[in-house]
């Protein structure tokens, strides 16, 4: 499948990006790679995350993708410069689109939540500061959110309580927007929206990166028509990952292949 | 460090086994390997878990260990026969010792809790049935327990509530013992004990496997005196793993090395 849009994530959470892209650019082919055998990235060191991200990207390059979308926030935070350096095709990460989406709404008090790695990297914080030095930025790692999302507890009283613990100190500063800096977090939207309240926008990095990709395909080269193909490559395909993939996509993935990087 | 006791776990949870062994066999040398770059094993497929476990064991064999202790429940559940087949030294997993410890207390209604992988494998359930066919056995995967333990919430009202959700159906059958089939779970003992109540024994597989190892070193070859060395090899050494290792060991690990398998 030459000329597909390549999407890479540490796991299956990035399928939210694939789903959003297919809706808006249905004529494109997609090759999704989830590094499920080595996930999660968020708790691991910068060196390991960068090595894994480069491995994964090389697999996609060997498959002749036309564009690399790094849906994984932790990989975007730590490996985007390294990926861009070796990539024969354009690379789009989630950080810059997420930041643009947060600022486009006019928020002046913004928080970022994500894995320990993403928050520790400071990538979102630095990008927000570069784009809008006057905006106040806070951040918090939320290590239990990915397991809660994978447990299917996105709309659950326990998730509300945990979100209250993680987010209360941020919310008390008078927040206007929270960047959901992890592909899994949109699955917790019901609980997060209850805890954050109606005055706080929840910025989904999957939607934001989708906008950035769609932007690229506007113009003469767009809309060749028809419906493109989708291939999903996973480095491990346990029942658990299949179940989560099904929950995100709304159906069983066609063309699922287990690959070794 | 030739002739060390090799201990293998997917992460740093197995340091509870190292700590218990050092207390009882202080004169031995220990080489601990935590596959932190690829953890967790519990959500992955049998094929991947077996491949990782064999990789890890080969690293320990190259370091001339005298005995292999598989502290990881998921690896014990899926890879013990494969490990035993290739091992030049004796191999001790956590399943059989955990089962013996549960039955030694006279329990006739026993539950096993663990990762999705460990429970799905049926390894504890089968071993209990083989050892005592009259004993009634139930089991439940508890996917949030490892993240809760790593968050340091072993004695926390939220952990109590989650334990109530996972364990109530088991407790209502009139349980006498619960096998904690994961190296992280003893870190949740305060919450688990509150929820299980005083009539239910919590069987720690780390203690059980320690007993099995101590058993082997009784007799003429034991007690050469002195205090042995400890080396810790991790495949990734993020701040997070160092912090959890410190919480388990009570001090910073000496001789920590990052290795590539």
- Considering only CB atoms, A162 lies closest to which of B36, B117, B158, namely B158
Count Cβ atoms below 10 Å from residue A80 Cβ, excluding itself: 20
Does residue A65 contact residue A6 with C-beta atoms inside 8 Å? yes
Does residue A94 contact residue A71 with C-beta atoms inside 8 Å? yes
Q: Which of B181, B50, B173, B30 is nearest to B114 (CA)?
A: B181
DSSP string, A188-234: GHHHHHHHH-TTSEEEEHHHHHHHHHHHHT-STT----S---EEEEE
| Distance in angstroms (rounded) separating the CA atoms of residues B123 and B218 | 28
Whole-number percent of chain A with pLDDT over 70: 97
The reported pLDDT for the residue numbered B219 is 58
- Considering only CB atoms, A147 lies closest to which of B36, B117, B144, namely B144
Does residue B185 contact residue B198 with C-beta atoms inside 8 Å? no
B179 three-state secondary structure: strand
The reported pLDDT for the residue numbered A54 is 98
Task: Return per-residue pLDDT of chain B as tens, 261 residues.
Answer: 779 999 999 999 999 899 999 999 999 999 999 999 999 999 999 999 999 999 999 999 999 999 999 999 999 999 999 999 999 999 999 999 999 999 999 999 999 999 999 999 999 999 999 999 999 999 999 999 999 999 999 999 999 999 999 999 999 999 999 999 999 999 999 999 999 999 999 999 889 999 999 999 875 555 567 899 999 999 999 888 888 899 889 888 888 999 999
Task: Using CA atoms of B155, B159, B163, B165 in order, give the dihedral in degrees to the nearest 10.
Answer: 160
- Closest residue in A to B10 (Cα) is A38
| Mean pLDDT of all residues in A153-179 | 97
The reported pLDDT for the residue numbered A253 is 86
Q: Tell me if chain A has a CB within 8 Å of the CB of B117.
A: yes
The tokens for A150 are 């994978």
Which residue segments constitute the domains of chain B, with CATH numbers given? 5-93+208-258 (3.40.50.1860), 95-205 (3.40.50.1860)
A52 pLDDT above the threshold of 70: yes
The tokens for B54 are 């064999």
Residues ≥6 apart with Cβ < 8 Å to A172: none
| Distance in angstroms (rounded) separating the CA atoms of residues B213 and B91 | 10
Residues of A acting as catalytic residues: 72, 182
| Distance in angstroms (rounded) separating the CA atoms of residues B157 and A7 | 39
The reported pLDDT for the residue numbered A240 is 85
Q: A136, exposed or middle or buried, with CB in 10 Å at 0-12, 13-18, 19+?
A: middle
pTM: 0.94
State the complex-level ipTM: 0.93
A215 pLDDT above the threshold of 70: yes
Q: Tell me if chain A has a CB within 8 Å of the CB of B35.
A: no
The reported pLDDT for the residue numbered B53 is 98
| Distance in angstroms (rounded) separating the CA atoms of residues A91 and B261 | 30
The reported pLDDT for the residue numbered A222 is 53
Question: What residues of chain A lie within 8 A of the CB of B195, using their CB?
Answer: none
A109 three-state secondary structure: strand
| Distance in angstroms (rounded) separating the CA atoms of residues A93 and A83 | 10
The reported pLDDT for the residue numbered A2 is 77
The reported pLDDT for the residue numbered B222 is 53
Count Cβ atoms below 10 Å from residue A60 Cβ, excluding itself: 23
The reported pLDDT for the residue numbered A225 is 75
Q: Best residue in A11, A34, A37, A145 to probe B by mutation, most B CBs within 10 Å?
A: A37
User: How close A212 gets to chain B, by Cα (Å)?
Assistant: 32
Element (H, E) at A114: strand A109-114
The reported pLDDT for the residue numbered A106 is 94
DSSP string, B143-156: TTHHHHHHTT-TT-
Calculate the CA B100 to chain-centre distance. 15
| Mean pLDDT of all residues in A216-224 | 65
B142 catalytic per annotation: no
Q: Best residue in B238, B239, B258, B261 to probe A by mutation, most A CBs within 10 Å?
A: B238
| Distance in angstroms (rounded) separating the CA atoms of residues A56 and A91 | 13
């Amino acid at each position: 499948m030459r000329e597909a849009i390549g999407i890479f994530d540490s796991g299956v959470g990035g399928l939210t990006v694939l789903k959003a892209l297919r809706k808006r650019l249905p004529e494109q082919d997609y090759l999704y790679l989830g590094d499920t055998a080595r996930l999660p990235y968020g708790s691991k060191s910068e060196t390991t995350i960068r090595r894994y991200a480069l491995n994964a990207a090389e697999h996609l390059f060997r498959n002749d993708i036309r564009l690399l979308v790094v849906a994984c926030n932790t990989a975007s935070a730590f490996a985007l410069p390294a990926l861009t350096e070796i990539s024969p095709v354009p690379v789009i990460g989630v950080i810059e689109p997420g930041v643009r989406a947060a600022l486009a709404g006019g928020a002046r008090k913004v928080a970022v939540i994500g894995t320990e790695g993403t928050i520790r990297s400071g990538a979102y914080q630095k990008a927000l500061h570069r784009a809008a030095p006057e905006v106040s930025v806070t951040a918090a790692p939320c290590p239990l959110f990915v397991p809660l999302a994978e447990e299917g507890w996105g709309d659950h009283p326990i998730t509300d309580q945990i979100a209250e613990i993680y987010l209360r100190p941020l919310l008390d500063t008078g927040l206007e927007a929270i960047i959901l800096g992890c592909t899994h977090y949109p699955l917790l939207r019901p609980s997060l929206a209850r805890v954050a309240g109606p005055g706080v926008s929840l910025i989904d990095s999957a939607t934001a990166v989708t906008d950035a990709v769609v932007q690229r395909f506007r113009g003469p080269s767009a809309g060749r028509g028809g419906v493109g193909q989708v291939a999903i490559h996973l480095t491990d395909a346990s029942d658990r990952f299949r179940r989560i993939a099904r929950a995100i996509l709304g159906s069983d993935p066609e063309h699922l292949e287990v690959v070794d990087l």
